[in-house]
Structure formats: structure tokens, C-alpha cells
Structure 1
Amino acid sequence: GEIAFCAVSTEQQVRGYGTRLMNQTKHFCKTRDNLDHFVTYADNYAIGYFKKQGFHMQISMHRERWAPNIKDYEGGTLMECYINPNIDYLEIPTMVKRQRKAVEDRISQMTRHDIVYPGLTCFKEG
């Protein structure tokens, strides 16, 4: 599948909307159309966004599979994303929260964060 246009207004960026939009799109295309790859031509301002969403510049698909179906944009960077059939893209936020909590719990077990030492007395006046 081709991601032809994907935009979030400047005022709404860095709020997770683009990630949610892409995860919903991956889920929908994977389950409904059985797609396993996306391709896009990213402009210079969007390359970072697409990399964050799992796109890369090493195109693994045979050219015959995508070239007839995608418009070639002058000045754009061709990028590809593999859609893993074993990943539930709608569950990624929940999975990340569970992983973050597991790491925090483990760090908590390994450190002595619960011990409070008395303050230094050498700096007290009088």
C-alpha cells in the first residue's frame, strides 16, 4: 500500500496523533487488505516522522511490486515499512506502558530508593 499524504497540523504535532493515525492505518490495512508493506515518498520534513513509524530507506520489495502503483515525487525520499502480522498495532501504547512499568519495578527492586538518610549537619548555622 502507498501512504500518499499523511499530515498533522503544526499546532497538533508532538501529541501522538500521527503515531495513532499510523497504527490505526497499519491495523486496518493488515486486517482488511492483508497488506504486509507500505511505501511512501517522504519530503525532507517528514523523514523523521516516518522513521519513527518504522519506515526505512532500504526497499526490500521487488520494484515490479510497487513501481506501477506509486507516484514518483520529485525531491521525495522513497521509504518502506514492513507491517508485521504478529504485532497488534492498536495495543502498542498499552504494551509500552506495561514494559515501562516492568523496567521501573525492576529498578526499584535493585536500588535502595526507600532509604532516607539524615541531612548533613555541617552546613547548619549556629
Structure 2
Amino acid sequence: MAFNFYLNGDFLAFVHGQTAWGRYQGNPLEFLIDGYHGSMYTTFEAVVTAIFILIFILFFKKIRFSYWLLCMYSVFIPLSTGIQSMPRYILVIFPLYILFADISKNRMSEDIFTLFFAIMQGFLMVFWTNSFNLII
């Protein structure tokens, strides 16, 4: 923060700079609900966010409480400034992968995961080759 003050004259320049991206503080659940009424891209982000929140809530006993708290913190803090880029924020939450590994110990759930992610990979490849807006 001292470097921010030296560079910009503002200790919290990283917070105040968020307004340039159209982000502002608000109710995370309101942003999530409003995401369903936006463009297809924001609807996709809202659906992904809701799915992972549901996964974290349903399987909170499968991981340590500190990991679960980190997951919730890592979802709701960025969500409190809008739905933009939420899949990017969610994909780096490492307890998610611990949770998936624990769930997939069962052979049937491992097959379901493999099928789901193979189908998703196919969709994402088609989206990417057709320059769809969901894929950069």
C-alpha cells in the first residue's frame, strides 16, 4: 500500500480503481440474481457462480471448515463487487479440487465427473473455434 501511495498518492488505489471497470460495492446475492437478467455472458457467469456456491454448501462436511470458509470468502468477496469474471475467481479456489477428488473416490461419481468434463470440454472447444463471446 505504501507503493500505491508513492505511485498514485492513494493508499487504496487498487480499491478506488475498480470503479473504472464498472465495479462497485453491493449485495452479493443481488448481483447474483441480477446476473440472470443480463446478457448471455452474465447469465453464464451467474449460473456457474450459483452452481459452485451450491456445491460448497452441499459438501461442506467433506472438507475442513477452514477450507470451506476460504471457499465462501473467495466467492462472496469478489461477488460483492459484481458478477463479472466470477468463473475466473472460482477456478483458482484450491479446496474445490480437494473436494472434487474426495467426491470422486466412488467409481460412479468419477465416471460422472469424467463424462461431464468431457462434454464441457467439447462445448468449450466449439465455442472457442466459433469465436463465441464466452471464450476469450
TM-score (norm 1): 0.25
Greater relative contact order (Cα < 8 A, sep 6+): 1
TM-score (norm 2): 0.24
Larger helix fraction of residues: 2
